[in-house]
Amino acid sequence: MVRGRPREEGIDDAVREAVRALLAETGYQRCTIDAVAARAGVGKAAVYRRWRSKAELVFTAVIHAADLAPPEDTGSLRGDVAAVLGVIESSLDGPELRRALPSLLADVRADPVLEARFGEVFLGRERGYLVQMLDRAVERGELSRRPDPALVHAMLLGPVLTWLHLFPEPPPSGGLAASLASPVYAAVVALGA
């Protein structure tokens, strides 16, 4: 088992690289599982074994893995909010993703099984980490109670997603996460007051 691991990791990296190249060159529609396997030089079976759908393959290659790392504990809610906004901004930024995201979401929306799996694997994982962040803030006495994690999730993810994927202008100089850190922190404090 140990011997096989580097090869397996090599496949993941090659596939991720192939997805990014195909999105940039041909767009989402033509970035099929078959095309990705050919470009990565791996068997189609190896790709199908790892990802249940094209949408999931693209999501994990360009946004974040299903086993997303937990956000760092910076020692304060203000710091934690800024750190999470930075992770969200770097996950959602980039011209390939900007072009691909609406089509990816259309695929997810068209398939209830895929939609349920996305809610569970990606949004559910993110939500779980926000609960940890909020519980730390309650323990530190920074919030008097844990606010609804879904509202906190919407306040953190929504402004970044909307600016990067809907607005025509580039982010403010200094970065979007830095510009949003104070207002989003104020919003989270208001939710947990």
Which of 43-51, 59-67, 130-138, 152-160 is the region at the interface with a second copy (rule: CB under 8 A)? 152-160
Q: Which of 38, 66, 131, 190 binds a second copy (CB under 8 A)?
A: 190
State the Cα–Cα distance between residues 188 and 193, nearest whole angstrom: 9
**Closest CB to a second copy among residues 15, 92:** 92
Residues numbered 89-148 forming contacts with a second copy, rule: CB under 8 A: 98-99, 102-106, 108-110, 115-116, 119, 123, 148
Q: Which of 166, 175, 177, 178 binds a second copy (CB under 8 A)?
A: 166
Residue 38 engages a second copy in binding (rule: CB under 8 A): no
The candidate with the shortest Cα–Cα distance to 142, out of 74, 178, 87, 188, is 188
**Closest CB to a second copy among residues 46, 105:** 105
Q: Which long-range contacts (CB under 8 A, 24 or more apart) does 91-98 make?
A: 91/63, 91/64, 92/63, 92/160, 92/161, 92/164, 92/165, 93/164, 94/62, 95/24, 96/20, 96/23, 96/24, 96/62, 97/23, 97/62, 97/63, 98/164, 98/165
- Using CB under 8 A, list all residues that contact a second copy: 98-99, 102-106, 108-110, 115-116, 119, 123, 148, 150-151, 153-155, 157-163, 165-169, 172, 179-180, 182-191
